[in-house]
């Protein structure tokens, strides 16, 4: 399994002039650094990072991974960044993660061992800002977007696509607009009868850092883990 980290965005909502993936957790560790370390400790060693905003800073800090540059990061969202990454890779099992997500290595271990393309989620009721998902009684994704009224929880931004679904997923992402999140591609894929499993990770310490309060939670989780 290969990993793709989506870290091209600006992340202005937490008030930092640095890329959000370089937000510090503590002891000199950043969100991106922790992701790379967690992936490697779970046995995933081929890591590709999609960069855009202040790419040189990110690339200088983490020279041991591969980088893919999104030159239109300022006007595109994660659907196009992920598509750019997949276009650089041959068909294979791909795990991808938003560059602003804190999660433990166990998250990647669970996704590494799945037998279906999978979306991870945390149970709960969420508001307009979060990407939410709905699950069938058999455990498959039936909807995934920010606008779902009925949902089981938040899609945390860590997912995988298996090799058999690689090309259909690329096609789905290619049909997305520049402003779409990659979840739109997953939604299109599920509507095309490609089964995507939901993985409940509510027992893990996971947070997507959208605001300063989320970064505080990520720091708390980090210090609890060391």
Helix axes 31-41, 105-112, angle to 10 degrees: 50
- Per-residue pLDDT tens digits for 120-166: 999 998 888 889 999 999 999 999 999 998 999 999 999 999 999 99
Residues 6+ apart with CB under 8 A from 18: 54, 57
pLDDT at 169: 98
33 vs 36: CA distance, rounded Å = 5
- Alpha-carbon Rg for the chain in angstroms: 16
Please indicate, yes or no, if residue 125 is contained in any of the structural domains.
no
User: How many domains does the chain fold into?
Assistant: 1
pLDDT at 15: 65
Residues 6+ apart with CB under 8 A from 93: 1, 2, 160, 161, 162, 163
Q: What is the pTM of this model?
A: 0.96
pLDDT at 159: 98
What length does the chain have?
226
* Domain span including residue 221: 2-118+157-225
Please indicate, yes or no, if residue 91 is contained in any of the structural domains.
yes
CATH classification at residue 218: 3.90.550.10
- Per-residue pLDDT tens digits for 10-53: 876 666 788 999 999 999 999 999 999 999 999 999 999 999 99
Please indicate, yes or no, if residue 151 is contained in any of the structural domains.
no
pLDDT at 102: 98
- Per-residue pLDDT tens digits for 77-127: 999 999 999 999 999 999 999 999 999 999 999 999 999 999 999 999 888
Band of the pLDDT at 226, cuts 50, 70, 90?
Answer: confident
Please indicate, yes or no, if residue 133 is contained in any of the structural domains.
no
């Amino acid at each position: 399994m290969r990993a793709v980290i989506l870290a091209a965005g600006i992340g202005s909502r937490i008030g930092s002039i640095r890329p959000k993936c370089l937000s510090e957790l503590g002891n000199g560790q950043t969100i991106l650094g922790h992701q790379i370390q967690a992936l490697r400790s779970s046995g995933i060693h081929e890591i590709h990072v999609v960069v855009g905003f202040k790419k040189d800073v990110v690339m200088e800090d983490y020279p041991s991974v591969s980088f893919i540059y999104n030159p239109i990061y300022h006007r595109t969202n994660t659907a196009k960044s992920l598509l750019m990454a997949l276009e650089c890779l041959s068909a294979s099992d791909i795990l991808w993660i938003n560059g602003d997500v804190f999660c433990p290595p166990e998250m990647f271990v669970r996704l590494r061992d799945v037998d279906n393309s999978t979306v991870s989620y945390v149970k709960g009721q969420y508001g307009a800002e979060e990407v939410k998902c709905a699950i069938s009684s058999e455990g498959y994704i039936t909807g995934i977007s920010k606008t779902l009224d009925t949902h089981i929880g938040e899609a945390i931004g860590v997912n995988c696509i298996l090799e058999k679904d690689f090309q259909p997923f690329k096609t789905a992402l290619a049909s997305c607009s520049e402003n779409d999140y990659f979840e739109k591609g997953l939604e299109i894929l599920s509507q095309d009868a490609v089964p995507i499993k939901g993985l409940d990770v509510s027992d893990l310490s996971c947070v997507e850092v959208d605001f300063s309060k989320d970064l505080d939670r990520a720091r708390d989780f980090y210090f609890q883990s060391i």
